[in-house]
Amino acid sequence: MASEQVTERRPLSRMEDLVSLCARRGYIFPSSEIYGGINGFWDYGPLGTELKNNLKAFWWQRVVRERADVEGIDTAIIAHPRTWEASGHVEHFSDPMVDCRKCKRRFRADHTDVPCPEAPAKRQVAECELTDPRSFNLMLTTRVGASEDAASVAYLRAETCQPIFNDFKRIRESARQKIPFGIAQIGKAFRNEINPRNFTFRSREFEQAEMEFFCHPSEREHWFEHWRQQRLHFHECLGFGTDVLRTRAHDADELAHYCKNAVDVEYAFPFGWQEIEGIHDRGDWDLSRHSSFSGKDLSVTDETTKERYTPMVIETSVGVDRTTLALLANSYSEEVLANGESRVVLGLPAHVAPVKAAVLPLSKKLAEPSHALENSLRRQFNVFYDDAGNIGRRYRRQDEAGTPFCITYDFESPDDGRVTVRERDSMAQERIPIDAVVGYLRERIEAPI
């Protein structure tokens, strides 16, 4: 239809537009909103949860299921506190912070190039009356058990990989894996960030999907490059083009204390190029430290050469929330149509889109056969049923929710056994037999290889 042609397309330029869509559609919104929110914590509504779950399932599929040399695990959030002494977090995991003597607010010493919250139009934080930088440990603590003494203090994990190192020996032996092999997990991590900002980008509670690959010291460069390529391809499969995706190698003075080599995967957010994933050569730092702190030998023996060595670790560590945010930012656009109307559309890749298809009866009188179609699809896909409002308005709602296909059941459908399928991005419509709908969707929502 000529009226549905796009005459102008504007990608996301202001984060506020995405934040507002996410709240409006129930993707992501502040945690404890009725109490005014809590800084650095976010809740995912029905669409956001489906999107994040699809992303995690895609990662799990690519990193764990498709590989015989990676095992997936799920560890406790709270580990023995010695874990975090061994990892170096108790000693080193801190950011420099400064306090403003006037307003008493606290800032990261390297993030003072932002407007002063007291007088945003007048000055930057850097121009305020600041104290000298002090070290601020980013780990969140809690207490375990009834006693209140120092021995009861425990840490909420600051990264999901440390329990993987704790479990290395158990997993290698129980899964009968030989070096080289990897252990992966997805889960929550917690950091008491001084200035959470940019929506979910820097949160205090977030999810990581991490994979630690254990290899012989002579193979570390090979596996680093292997995983760099694998991970870059993963992000390409999420629809990120070369204009918004790049890798950036760390300079020597940027490397974390445990790191021999690191490459960031960066996405071009409206607030600049930012890291969404890190690929790190952690050397034998973790296994050696946990060996010495626990007293358990975590080295291995090469069965052929009988060489005894501590494996090197190549890590891939992606932020699930940051990648979800990149997916939302990348897919958001505002379009002007030839008939002068406009629409907001989330062009999410179909394989991660929260709802794959919406079933839209043209009239409430067609409810019975439309529900029958909905229920038959529900067994295989996440679908949505909407019979409220005119069909144009219903299409727009699905465009904004990122639903790739709308299936309209009309007055001819009972007679000719066909429905109209409308594709979100092109808005092209075609009429197909009802019994071909499952195959039609299946073909179009498969993840790229």
The residues of the shown chain that bind ligand GAP, judged by CB under 6 A, are 159, 161, 191, 193, 202-203, 206, 208, 210, 275-278, 315, 317-319, 321-322
Which residue's CB is nearer to ligand GAP, number 234 or number 409?
A: 234
The four Cα atoms 134, 140, 145, 146 give a dihedral, to 10 degrees, of 50
Which residue's CB is nearer to ligand GAP, number 54 or number 203?
A: 203
Overall residue count recorded for the chain in this entry: 449
3-state SS assignment for residue 165:
helix
What distance in Å separates the CA atoms of residue 97 and residue 109, rounded to the nearest whole number? Answer: 5
Which residue's CB is nearer to ligand GAP, number 230 or number 429?
A: 230
Least distance (Å) from ligand GAP to the CB of residue 319?
2
Which pair of structure tokens corresponds to residue 317? 């560590």
Least distance (Å) from ligand GAP to the CB of residue 220?
17
Least distance (Å) from ligand GAP to the CB of residue 313?
10
Which residue's CB is nearer to ligand GAP, number 207 or number 410?
A: 207
What distance in Å separates the CA atoms of residue 440 and residue 399, rounded to the nearest whole number? Answer: 19
Residue partners of 351: CB distance under 8 A and separation at least 6: 54, 58, 445, 446, 447, 448
Side chain identity, residue 174: S
Which residue's CB is nearer to ligand GAP, number 178 or number 257?
A: 257
Least distance (Å) from ligand GAP to the CB of residue 256?
7
Least distance (Å) from ligand GAP to the CB of residue 447?
21
| Nearest residue to 224 (alpha-carbon basis) of 279, 159, 173, 272 | 279
Strands, sheet with 383-385, edge to edge from the N-terminal-most edge strand? 383-385, 357-361, 405-409, 418-423, 429-433
> Measured at CB, which residue is nearest to ligand GAP?
319
Least distance (Å) from ligand GAP to the CB of residue 43?
15
Which residue's CB is nearer to ligand GAP, number 71 or number 281?
A: 281
Which residue's CB is nearer to ligand GAP, number 186 or number 445?
A: 186
302-326 in b/e form (b: 16+ CB < 10 A) is eeeeeeeebbbbbbbbbbbbbbbbb
Which residue's CB is nearer to ligand GAP, number 212 or number 374?
A: 212
Least distance (Å) from ligand GAP to the CB of residue 330?
15
What distance in Å separates the CA atoms of residue 189 and residue 208, rounded to the nearest whole number? Answer: 7
Least distance (Å) from ligand GAP to the CB of residue 18?
16
